Structure 1
Amino acid sequence: MNTAPSIQQPVPEKRQPILNTVDRVTELCFGLFMALTFVGAVKAATAGDDAGRKLFFAALGCNLAWGLADAVMFIVRNLADRGQRLTLALSIKREPNHAVAVRTLRDALPESLEPLVDDAELELIRQRLAGTSTLPPRAHLIRDDFVGALGVFLLVVIATFPVALPFILVNDRTVALVISRILTLVMLFIAGFALGRYTGAGAMKAGFAMMLLGVVLTIAIILLGG
C-alpha cells in the first residue's frame, strides 16, 4: 500500500467579476427605463412611413449618449473609490499612534459590520498595513476599469433593442408599441429575478417587483402623453 503523502495542489485564486450582478442588472434596467421613457416621449412626434425607423435611431442615439456618460462615470467612481481606500491605508500606515489608527479603521467600517469586529482584529490589520511596502503613492486607473466601462456602455445600449426594435420590424405602430412594452416588462422581470436570487430577497418576488416598477413607469409615461 502506498503511504507516500499526497501533494496538495494549490487552489487557484477565484477571479472576481468586473461587473457584479447588481452592476449588470442596474445598468440594464437603466437602459430599459431610458429607452422606454424616450420612446414614450417621441413616438407622438414621429410621423410618416419611416416613423418607426426614426424612433428607433432616436432611442438608440439617446442610449448611446447615456451609455457613454454612464461608462465615464463608472471609471470616475472606480478611481475615486480606489483613491479613498488608498488614502485610508496610507493614513493607517503613517499613523504613529496605534490607538488612533485602530479608531480610524473602526470609523471606516460599514455600520452593519462595526459591532462584529473587535479592536484586536483591527490591530492585526493595522500591523499588516504598517508593515507593507507595496502601497502606491496615488490611485491609478487599471485595465479592469476600462473593461467594466465598456460593459456598462454595452448594457445600456443593448437595452435599447427590445424597446425600440419592434418599431422597425412591425409596420403597425400600435402593435409595435404593445410588443415593445411587453418585451420590456419581460426583461425587467428577468433582471429582477436575477437580482433577487443574487441578494437572497426572493427571485420571483423581486422579478414581479421590478416588472411592477416598469408598469408604473409605463402608466406614468402614458399619462404624460407618451
Structure 2
Amino acid sequence: MYATGLMDQENINAREPVLDTVDRVSELCFGLFMALTFVGAVSAVTAGEGAGRKMFYTALGCNLAWGLADAVMFLVRTLTNRGRRLTLALTMRHELDAAAGVRALREALPRWITPLITDTELELIRARLSAIPDLPRRPRFLRADIIGAVAIFLIVVSSTFPVALPFVVFSDVPTALIVSRVLTIAILFGSGVALGRHSGFGGWKAGFAMAALGVMLTMAIIALGG
C-alpha cells in the first residue's frame, strides 16, 4: 500500500521490487515490436549481398538506442516518484493542521483504494509520518535502481536477436523473415502467458491474445511493404 510505504525513513527512498513480471514482459514486448518494425521497414528497401546483416545491425542499433532511452527514463521516473513521497512526508511533518494532513494523504492515495481507508486510519499514518526523526533532504538513487535500469537496457537489446538474427543465419531474406516472425509470435505468446498468470486472467487466453496482437502487427508491417 502506498501510504504504508511511507512509514519510515528507509521506505521514503524505497521503490517497488526491481522489474516485476509486468515490467519485464512490457520491456521485452516493446523491444520485439521495435525490432520487428525496423526489420520490416528495412527489408522493404534492402536487397543484394549483405542485406541480412544490414537489417540485423539496423535493428540492433535501434534497440540499443531505445534501451538506453528507456533505462534513463526509468531512472527519471523512479527519482520523481521518490521525490513525491518525500515531499508528502515533509508536508506531514510541517503541517500543523491534522485535518489538512489527512486530506493531503487521501489525495496522494490511488483512487481505487481511497474508499477503503477511513480518516481515522489516515490520521494514524499522518502521525507516524510526522514523527519520523530524520528525513533525507532530497531523493536519491539506490543500487537497486541502477540494477533495474541496466536490466531494462539488457532486456530491450536482447529482444533484438530472435527478430533480427535469422537474417544473419539465413542467406535467403524471405526465409529469414518467416523464421523471424514465427520466433516473434512464439515469444509474444510466452509473454502473454506470463502476464495472464501474473494478473489472474488465465495464461493461455492471454498468450493467444498477445500472439494475435503480434500477428496483426506483422500483417500491418507486410501491408506497409515489410
TM-score by length of 1: 0.91
Q: Which runs of 5+ in 1 are unaligned?
A: 1-14
Q: Distance in 1 between matches of 2:66 and 2:78?
A: 18
| CA distance in 1: counterparts of 2:218 and 2:47, whole angstroms | 22
Question: Distance in 2 between the 1:221 and 1:81 partners?
Answer: 37
Q: Where in structure 2 are the equivalents of 1:84-95 lying within 5 Å?
A: 84-95=84-95
**1:199-221 per-position Cα deviation (integer Å, ceiling 9, x unaligned):** 11111111111111111111111
Structure 1 ranges of 4+ moved more than 3 A:
none
- AA aligned to 1:197 is R
Question: Match for residue 66 of structure 2?
Answer: 66
Structure-1 residue corresponding to 2:139: 139
Measure, in 1, the Cα distance between the counterparts of 2:134 and 2:43. 56
- Give distance in 2, aligned partners of 1:179 and 1:17: 35
* C-alpha distance in 1 between matches for 2:190 and 2:135: 41
Deviations 1:2-46 (A, max 9, x none): xxxxxxxxxxxxx96311111100000000000000000001222
Query: Is 1:41 aligned with 2:37?
Result: no
Shift of 1:134: 2.7
CA distance in structure 2 between the aligned counterparts of 1:46 and 1:222, rounded to whole angstroms: 15
1:62-94 CA distance string (max 9 Å, x none): 100110010110100100111111111111121
Displacement of 1:193: 0.7
Structure 2 unaligned runs (5+)? 1-14
Change (3 A) 1:17 1:109: closer
Partner of 1:76: 76
Question: What amino acid maps onto 2:111 in structure 1?
Answer: E
TM-score, normalised relative to structure 2: 0.91
Aligned residue number for residue 105 of structure 1: 105
1:109-128 equivalences in 2 (<5 Å): 109-128=109-128
Secondary structure at the residue paired with 2:204? helix
What is the distance in 2 between the residues matched to 1:62 and 1:96? 52
The one-letter amino acid paired with 1:133 is P
> Match for residue 155 of structure 2?
155
1:184 counterpart residue number: 184
Report the 3-state secondary structure (helix = DSSP H, G, I; strand = E; otherwise coil) of the residue aligned with 1:45: coil
User: CA offsets, 1:106-160, max 9 Å, x none?
Assistant: 1111111011111111111011101111311211122111110000000000000
Count of aligned pairs: 212
CA distance in 2, matches of 1:132, 1:25: 37
RMSD (Å), alpha carbons: 1.2
Change in Cα spacing, 1:22 to 1:149, as seen in structure 2 (3 Å) is: same
Q: Quick one: distance in 2 between partners of 1:132 and 1:16?
A: 21
Mean Cα deviation higher: 22-31 or 169-178: 169-178
1:213 equivalent in structure 2: 213
Match of 2:224 in 1: 224
Tell me the equivalent position of 2:9.
none
2-structure distance, mates of 1:16, 1:137: 21
Identity %: 62
Larger radius of gyration: 1
**Counterpart residue identity of residue 29, structure 1:** C
Distance 2:94 2:21 in 1: 36
